[in-house]
Structure formats: structure tokens, C-alpha cells
């Protein structure tokens, strides 16, 4: 069963990129032209979000047209804010984002895909509001980040899919207000980058697979602008560049990595908003197209996907325009595995909007579908 993480929220805001609407072909019988994806959602009213989702649902997507066909509930996990599937498609790992006064920790739930999504394990994250989970490139290690408490925890994946805690990074020891938001393994699996929205920095570690440890990188961290608020990241395929989207000041930082001195430097800071726009905005997600030529980031407030052309030699970005997500608060977005479609998860309007993607120009075209589903915040193909 196929399932990639559609951290949704994209579309180019009506403006610089030409846009158009397309009538989709009639769906055909049979499932040879379909893939499935998992959608995580908020399930209750937390004050800052009124969750109306059911936990984790599975959607069927038509490969040829990108159209979402149907959905079904597979788990009622509370506030299933991030979902990732093991490479062998046997297990689904879901974070339960808990942060109320009587909830001292969030959890990772492990579901057995081949056994009707039976929950086989539930393990604490050692912090409140876990908001991200990531598998390393071997599939042997899992890391989660807690937005409240400044703890990132790493686990070793066992042969039965369960998780064994092996290490943790505690940013709260600094005495400052840390808000860890995501972690990413480098393509060669050697470096782990952890974004701290509260301290405006990217914490760096070496992944010691022999001993199952996070070893502090000799550089320690990369300090970004005050009140930038780094949230999500994506590595270039060759590992030479790390792209960071900053929630609070609506920018993207391009970090260059030079292997010989083993050091990161900030190469570029570029805004995600069009010039002259002054409304409230916070960014959310960021993704590279599989061909490496285009990068996209989501804006909540402006409710758009910002598009950029990537210079693959220098890593630098050129702004290409925006596309409206035709919904409210695109918290996440994802590209289809073949790179032909983009899906935007509009958290507050409870829709997933579908766009086709021109692989030569990067242009997004709205496909006239706003699929209704409660408070979507993550999707895994």
C-alpha cells in the first residue's frame, strides 16, 4: 500500500504565475490507476485550532488525474498531527499532539498496516505537543520533536515495528524558551538538523548509527535572524544545501554545506510573500520538487504557495510567484510521488485542494477539487 506524507499547503497565489482551471476526466473503474495516502488531522478544540478531524484517514488518489476519490477512517488517535510510514509499508507511525494541563507528554502510536491498522505500541515523546516525526534513510531510526518542552527524542525501530528509545536532545537546558518543530536527516544519513522555532536556530548533530546516538556537530548550530522562527526544512538531493522555512518572519533561508570544513553557512534569505503585502502571515511547510528544479513553501494568512526556481549549482532561489490555496491556513502540503500533482491541506477550512504541476515550468494549475475532510494537517503517500 502506497502512502507518502502529504504535508499539505500549496498553490501559487493568483498573480505572477498564470493560472487556469481544468475539468478532470471521468474516473475509471478498477484500482490499477490509484494510490492511497494517509491524512492526519486535529480532532478537538484546542483554542488556537478547532479540530474537526477523526484522527487518521486513508484517501484514494487517481494517479492519472490526481483526483482524490474517497476516504475512510483508520484510527481515532487524538490530534494526529504528523504521520509517516515505514519504507516496507508495514507500519504507520503517528504522533498524538497533546498539550493540555493534565497531559504531561504526547505519544507516538505504531499501527500495523497489514493487520487492519491494529495499534501495537504507544510510546511517550517526553514532551508536550509533538508536532513532527521522521524516519532516517535506512528506516532504522525514528526521531520526533516536541514543540513544548524543547525535547527531541530518537528511537531505534525494532523488527516488529515497535520503537526503542535510545537518545534525546533537550534544548530546555539552555533556560530559554525552545520550540522544536522538525528534524531532518541528511541524504547521506550522516547529519541530523533540528529546527528550533523558539531559539531561532538549526541545531546540528552527527548520527552515530553504530551506537545509536546523536553526537553534537562541531559547529553546534546555525543561528538565524532574531524572531525568524525556523519551522520545517528540506535537503537538496546532493546534501549540499538545506532549505529552511521561517514561520515568524515569512522567509526562507538557504544554508550551504561545505563537506571539507564540515560547516554550514547562510547563503540567502528570501521572502515568501509578494512585495507590498502587509497582512498577518505565518509560513508552514516546504518541499523540493523531485527534479530538484523547483521549491515551494506555504503561507498561512496569505493562504498561498510560494514558488521558487532553484539554481542547482549554487542552491540559490529565484521567486517565481504565488498560487492561492483556495482555503484557509495551508498548514502542510505535499507533492505526488511522480511530481505531477500538488496537494494543499487547508487546516481551518477542512479541505485538501488539488493542483497539477508543470514539470518544465513549475506552474501550478487548480484542478477544480476541494476535497472535504476534517482539519487536515498531514498526508503521507
* Residue 13 neighbours by CB under 8 Å, 6+ apart: 274, 299, 302, 303, 304, 305, 306, 321, 322, 323, 324
Distance CA 217, CA 203 (A): 8
Contact 199, 170 (CB under 8 A): no
Whether pLDDT at 19 is above 90:
no
Residue 293 in this model has a pLDDT that exceeds 50: yes
Q: What is the pLDDT of residues 146-156, one digit of tens each?
A: 999 999 999 99
Residue spans per domain, the chain = 34-380
Weakest mean pLDDT among 164-168, 169-173, 280-284, 339-343: 169-173
The whole-chain average pLDDT of the chain stands at: 92
- What is the pLDDT, as a whole number, of residue 174? 67
Task: Please state which of the four CATH numbers 2.40.440.10, 3.30.470.20, 2.130.10.10, 2.160.10.10 is assigned to the domain occupying 34-380.
Answer: 2.130.10.10
pLDDT tens, position by position, 47-71: 999 999 999 999 999 999 999 999 9
Q: Which of 2-16, 254-268, 286-300 shows the lowest mean pLDDT across its residues?
A: 2-16
Give the pLDDT mean for 154-164.
98
Amino acid at each position: 500500500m502506497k502512502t507518502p506524507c502529504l504535508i499539505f499547503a500549496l498553490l501559487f497565489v493568483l498573480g505572477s504565475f498564470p493560472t487556469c482551471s481544468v475539468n478532470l476526466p471521468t474516473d475509471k473503474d478498477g484500482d490499477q490507476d490509484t494510490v492511497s495516502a494517509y491524512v492526519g488531522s486535529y480532532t478537538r478544540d484546542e483554542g488556537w485550532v478547532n479540530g474537526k478531524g477523526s484522527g487518521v484517514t486513508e484517501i484514494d488518489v487517481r494517479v492519472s488525474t490526481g483526483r482524490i476519490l474517497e476516504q475512510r477512517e483508520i484510527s481515532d488517535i487524538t490530534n494526529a498531527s504528523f504521520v509517516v510510514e515505514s519504507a516496507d509499508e508495514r507500519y504507520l507511525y503517528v504522533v498524538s499532539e497533546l498539550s493540555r494541563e493534565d497531559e504531561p507528554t504526547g505519544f507516538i502510536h505504531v499501527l500495523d498496516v497489514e493487520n487492519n491498522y491494529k495499534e501495537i505500541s504507544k510510546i511517550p515523546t517526553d514532551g508536550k505537543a509533538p508536532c513532527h516525526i521522521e524516519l532516517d534513510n535506512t528506516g532504522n531510526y525514528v526521531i520526533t520533536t516536541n514543540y513544548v518542552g524543547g525535547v527531541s527524542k530518537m528511537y531505534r525501530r525494532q523488527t516488529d515495528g515497535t520503537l526503542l528509545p535510545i537518545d534525546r536532545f533537550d534544548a530546555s537546558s539552555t533556560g530559554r524558551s525552545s520550540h522544536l518543530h522538525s528534524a531532518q536527516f541528511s541524504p547521506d544519513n550522516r547529519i541530523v538538523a533540528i529546527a528550533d522555532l523558539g531559539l531561532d536556530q538549526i541545531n546540528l548533530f552527527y548520527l552515530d548509527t553504530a551506537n545509536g546516538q546523536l553526537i553534537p556537530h562541531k559547529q553546534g548550530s546555525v543561528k538565524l535572524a532574531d524572531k525568524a522562527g525556523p519551522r520545517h526544512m528540506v535537503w537538496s538531493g546532493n546534501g549540499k544545501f538545506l532549505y529552511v522555512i521561517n514561520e515568524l518572519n515569512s522567509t526562507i533561508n538557504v544554508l550551504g554545506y561545505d563537506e571539507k570544513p564540515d560547516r554550514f553557512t547562510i547563503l540567502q534569505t528570501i521572502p515568501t510573500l509578494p512585495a507590498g503585502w502587509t497582512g498577518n502571515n505565518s509560513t508552514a511547510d516546504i518541499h523540493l520538487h523531485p527534479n530538484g528544479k523547483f521549491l515551494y513553501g506555504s503561507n498561512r494568512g496569505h493562504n498561498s504557495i510560494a514558488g521558487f526556481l532553484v539554481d542547482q549549482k549554487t542552491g540559490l532561489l529565484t521567486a517565481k510567484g504565488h498560487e492561492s490555496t483556495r482555503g484557509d491556513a495551508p498548514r502542510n502540503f505535499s507533492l505526488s510521488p511522480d511530481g505531477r500533482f500538488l496537494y494543499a491541506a487547508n487546516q481551518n477550512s477542512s479541505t485538501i485542494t488539488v493542483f497539477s504541476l508543470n514539470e518544465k515550468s513549475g506552474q501550478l494549475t487548480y484542478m477544480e477539487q476541494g476535497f472535504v475532510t476534517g482539519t487536515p494537517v498531514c498526508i503521507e503517500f
